[in-house]
């Protein structure tokens, strides 16, 4: 079965995207040990499973970090009405990764090192979180006035920082081989033109999110925002006009997924247009608009990943 790359959700409004590059096929066969489709698929499988794990783990850790903040406040006598409820979740995608594929070539050892750090820090956080929950549920903080809660909070924050660093390193290091692997897989893929066109939208979308993230933290620049809008809207319009005509019954359902992706992208265009108008009036990007864009981004991303899987 041919494997296609899925993309990672934007973290802190900075996207991690993987794009096709000219000449990647040659690079894949000579430098990255991609001798054929089987090796390419193993590289893409690793990418997809790690991306899913990193995305879900990041969400979980953000929730845990919020819990630690509330735990410190409550344990020191502060007013906390209800402690955040965080349900444990099994990381099935991480469990699918048995090893780092040889297709990553000379970067394999470095990827393994960061991947092992990622797993270790993830386990540390989970164990420390369970320890903190037990401490809070038993109200042991009444004995030490919250000292342990504060200590565990710092430990989890340290592990979280290390996990994010390792995760970003893995994604950056697997990118060249994953690009090359997709070039191998897409060579004769029936949906090649639709996948490449849709990925161009995702690359443009990442650029939009990066720009808005910077302007949200700084000053709104209408001209820059409008330029990115025009580029993105043009790609979305062109993609929406493509007639999905792929032979083979096994691809029939992909037409609906392709259309859903285009609808999600068009909705992002609408929200983006509203953001420009609101930001121009306010002189800065309003919180509600940036939150809407982040939510809309995730919708486009999920639609894309469903289409290419």
The rounded mean pLDDT for the chain is: 87
Between CA 53 and CA 94 the distance in angstroms is 6
Residues 15 and 163 in one domain: yes
- Look at residue 70 in the predicted model and tell me its pLDDT: 96
Residues 58 and 150 in one domain: yes
Task: Answer yes or no: is 237 within a domain.
Answer: yes
Instruction: Answer with the residue of higher pLDDT: 31 or 164.
Output: 164
Instruction: Answer with the residue of higher pLDDT: 44 or 259.
Output: 259
Instruction: Answer with the residue of higher pLDDT: 138 or 15.
Output: 138
For strands 8-11 and 14-16, give the pairing. antiparallel
Q: At residue 30, does pLDDT exceed 50? A: no
- Look at residue 125 in the predicted model and tell me its pLDDT: 97
Burial (CB < 10 A; 0-12, 13-18, 19+), residue 226, is: middle
Q: What is the CATH number of the domain that holds 212?
A: 1.20.58
Residues 67 and 208 in one domain: no
Task: Answer yes or no: is 74 within a domain.
Answer: yes
Residues 60 and 182 in one domain: yes
Q: Of 186, 201, 231, which residue is a domain's last?
A: 186
Cα–Cα–Cα angle for 85, 57, 151, rounded to 5 degrees: 65
**Domain count of the chain?**
2
Stretch among 145-159, 184-198, 247-261 having the lowest mean pLDDT? 184-198
Q: Of 167, 186, 205, which residue is a domain's last?
A: 186
Q: What is the pLDDT of residues 94-111, one digit of tens each?
A: 999 999 999 998 999 999
Task: Answer yes or no: is 32 within a domain.
Answer: yes
Burial (CB < 10 A; 0-12, 13-18, 19+), residue 252, is: exposed
Task: Answer yes or no: is 296 within a domain.
Answer: yes
- Look at residue 35 in the predicted model and tell me its pLDDT: 57
Q: What is the CATH number of the domain that holds 28?
A: 1.20.120
Q: At residue 4, does pLDDT exceed 70? A: no
Q: What is the pLDDT of residues 43-86, one digit of tens each?
A: 989 998 998 899 889 889 999 999 999 999 999 999 998 998 88
- Look at residue 34 in the predicted model and tell me its pLDDT: 56
Only one residue has tokens 């509203």, namely 274
What integer is the mean pLDDT of 270-281?
97
Task: Answer yes or no: is 1 within a domain.
Answer: no
Position 274 confidence tier, pLDDT thresholds 50, 70, 90: very high
Task: Answer yes or no: is 2 within a domain.
Answer: no
Position 33 confidence tier, pLDDT thresholds 50, 70, 90: low
Residues 247 and 117 in one domain: no
Residues 155 and 248 in one domain: no
Residues 165 and 276 in one domain: no
Residues 12 and 146 in one domain: yes
Task: Answer yes or no: is 149 within a domain.
Answer: yes
Residues 219 and 182 in one domain: no
Between CA 36 and CA 26 the distance in angstroms is 12
Q: Which domain holds residue 277?
A: 192-308
Task: Answer yes or no: is 153 within a domain.
Answer: yes
CB contact set of 139 (below 8 Å; sequence gap of 6+): none
Q: Of 160, 186, 212, which residue is a domain's last?
A: 186
Residues 236 and 179 in one domain: no
Residues 96 and 182 in one domain: yes
Q: At residue 182, does pLDDT exceed 90? A: no
Residues 166 and 258 in one domain: no
- Look at residue 25 in the predicted model and tell me its pLDDT: 38
Q: What is the pLDDT of residues 134-180, one digit of tens each?
A: 999 999 999 999 999 999 999 999 999 999 999 999 999 998 888 88
């Amino acid at each position: 079965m041919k494997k296609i790359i899925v993309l990672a959700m934007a973290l802190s409004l900075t996207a991690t995207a993987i794009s096709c590059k000219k000449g990647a096929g040659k690079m894949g066969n000579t430098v990255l040990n991609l001798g054929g489709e089987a090796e390419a698929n193993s590289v893409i499988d690793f990418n997809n499973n790690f991306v899913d794990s990193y995305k879900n783990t990041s969400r979980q850790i953000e929730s845990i970090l919020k819990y630690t903040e509330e735990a410190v406040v409550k344990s020191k006598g502060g007013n906390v009405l209800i402690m955040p409820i965080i349900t444990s979740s099994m990381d099935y995608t991480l469990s699918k990764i048995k090893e780092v594929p040889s297709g990553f070539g000379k970067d394999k050892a470095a990827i393994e090192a960061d991947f092992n750090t990622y797993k270790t820090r993830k386990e540390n956080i989970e164990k420390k979180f369970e320890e903190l929950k037990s401490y809070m549920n038993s109200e042991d903080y009444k004995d030490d006035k919250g000292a342990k809660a504060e200590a565990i909070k710092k430990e989890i924050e340290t592990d979280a920082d290390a996990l994010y660093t390792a995760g970003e390193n893995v994604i950056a290091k697997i990118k060249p081989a994953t690009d090359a692997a997709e070039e191998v897989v897409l060579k004769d893929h029936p949906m090649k033109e639709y996948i490449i066109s849709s990925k161009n939208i995702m690359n443009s979308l990442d650029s939009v999110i990066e720009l808005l993230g910077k302007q949200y933290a700084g000053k709104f620049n209408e001209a820059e925002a409008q330029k990115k809008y025009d580029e993105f809207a043009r790609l979305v319009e062109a993609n929406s006009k493509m007639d999905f005509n792929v032979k083979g019954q096994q691809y029939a359902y992909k037409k609906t997924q392709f259309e859903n992706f285009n609808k999600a992208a068009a909705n992002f265009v609408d929200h983006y247009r509203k953001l420009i108008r609101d930001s121009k009036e306010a002189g800065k990007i309003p919180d509600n608009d940036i939150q809407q864009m982040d939510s809309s981004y995730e919708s486009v991303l999920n639609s894309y990943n469903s289409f290419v899987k």
